[in-house]
Amino acid sequence: MVNISKLSESIARATCVALVPLLDLLVTANLSTLAVRATIHPENVGYEAGSKGEKLPPLYMKSLDETLIAVVHDAAVSIRDISYPIVLELIFKIMEQG
C-alpha cells in the first residue's frame, strides 16, 4: 500500500532542498508561488514544475532535477504492483519576512 502522506512529504522535502538556495532569485523573478506535479508509476515517472502557468526557467529546473528525479524514480520502483499512476500536485508559497 502506498503511503501518500510520506510520498508527498518526500517530494516536498526534495523540492525545498532544491529551491531554498534560490529563494532570493525566485522572489526577484516574481515566482513566489509555484507548483510541482509528480507522476509516479513504473511505466510513467516524472515531474513538472511551474509558476503562473509557465514552466520554471532552466536554472530552477536543473536544481530540481538534482533532487527530485531520484525521489520520484525511487517511489516508482517501490510501487511496482500499482496499476494506476499516482499524480501529486504540491503548491509552494514563498513567504517574505519584513
Which pTM does this prediction carry? 0.91
**Structural domains of the chain in order of their starting residue, each with its CATH number:** 4-93 (3.30.500.40)
Q: How far is CA 76 from the centre of its chain?
A: 14
Burial class (CB in 10 A: 0-12, 13-18, 19+), 81: exposed
Q: What is the pLDDT of residues 3-60, one digit of tens each?
A: 899 999 999 999 999 999 999 999 999 999 999 999 998 888 999 999 999 999 999 9
Q: Which residues contact 56 (CB under 8 A, 6 or more apart)?
A: 31, 34, 49, 50, 64
